[in-house]
Amino acid sequence: MILSFSPSEEATTLDRSFSMEKADEPRTIPVLLSSQCPVSWLFVGDSFTPKNVTEPRPWRVYTNRFAAAVRTHFQRPKDVFIDATFPAARLSEVLFDFEKRIAKFEPDICFLSLCLAEADAKSVERFERMLVRLIRWSRKFDCELVLQTPPCLRSRNDSELTRRLILIESIRGIAAEHAVPLVDHWEHWEGAASQDGHAELWIDAESHTPDEQGHLQLAKRLIHDLKLNDIAKPEISMSIEESVLGED
């Protein structure tokens, strides 16, 4: 079972002493998956679930589906998966609570899911500075940071869509410039919406957040963009993309 971690209600004073020394370059996901040592996987940022919903989902969210698929396909029962996401989490909150939300878990891999609400920020430059800072801090902990764009959801008007597109290009540019793995949910959902309209079937009509099928697509995109199917497991007959369907 994936562990969950609710957001702290108290202000946090970040101890920046860790930033004085630089660790080795972070290990890659293929290297970690080929190791016999247990791997710690951490999810932070937006949970892509509705606000003010405290009861468990009647279906598995994408973090649970991804965790189950990795455990099964790569035969890694000792790996630890921690879900520290929460609805509409902003990058500033993750950065401010870095010590409690990331550093304390000492993760090998950290998935940061970025929120569409970031598009409403007054300064794209400030967002980019915070994202670069998080990348640098993660590397000092020998942690492989993976960025995730938000899924492409319907915009209220052209102005909102323009701001969102600027945000997406900013995330893509930072990922490319700093050689950070990127899972581009926006590209996948935008393509599905333009080609056959399937993306509408992935969204909860009431909350305008990904529904059960939407979270399944999020998990599958993680596997696709990280090229996990390229890491061969000849003794497993099915692909990891098939594993993510799993038994509920």
In angstroms, the CA 184 to CA 167 distance is 12
Domain contains 39: yes
| CB contact at 8 A, 119 and 160 | yes
Domain contains 90: yes
pLDDT tens string 42-66: 999 999 999 877 666 778 899 999 9
Domain contains 13: no
> Is 124 or 12 the better-scoring residue by pLDDT?
124
| CB contact at 8 A, 71 and 79 | yes
- Tokens 């640098």 correspond to 136
Kindly report the number of other CB atoms within 10 A of residue 247's CB atom.
Answer: 4
pLDDT exceeds 70 at position 23: no
Domain contains 43: yes
| Predicted structure pTM score | 0.85
Q: What is the structure's pLDDT at 238?
A: 65
What is residue 198's DSSP assignment?
A: G
In angstroms, the CA 101 to CA 108 distance is 14
pLDDT exceeds 90 at position 165: yes
Percent of the chain with pLDDT over 90: 60
Q: What is the structure's pLDDT at 234?
A: 56
In angstroms, the CA 203 to CA 9 distance is 29
Domain contains 136: yes
In angstroms, the CA 230 to CA 239 distance is 10
| CB contact at 8 A, 186 and 152 | yes
Domain contains 246: no
CATH number, domain of 73, equals: 3.40.50.1110
In angstroms, the CA 88 to CA 85 distance is 9
SS3 (DSSP) at 212: helix
pLDDT tens string 127-143: 999 999 999 999 998 89
- For the chain, the domain total comes to 1
pLDDT exceeds 90 at position 16: no
* Helix 212-225 and helix 62-73, axial crossing angle in degrees, nearest 10: 50
**pLDDT interval class at 247 (50, 70, 90):** low
**pLDDT interval class at 233 (50, 70, 90):** low
Domain contains 30: yes
Per-residue DSSP letters for 140-181?
HTT-EEEEEEPP----SSHHHHHHHHHHHHHHHHHHHHTT--
Per-residue DSSP letters for 11-45?
-----GGGGGS--PPPPPHHHHHHSSS--EEEEEE
Its domain, for residue 122, covers 3-7+22-241
Q: Supply the mean pLDDT for the chain.
A: 85
- Which of 1-5, 62-66, 71-75 is least confident? 1-5
Domain contains 85: yes
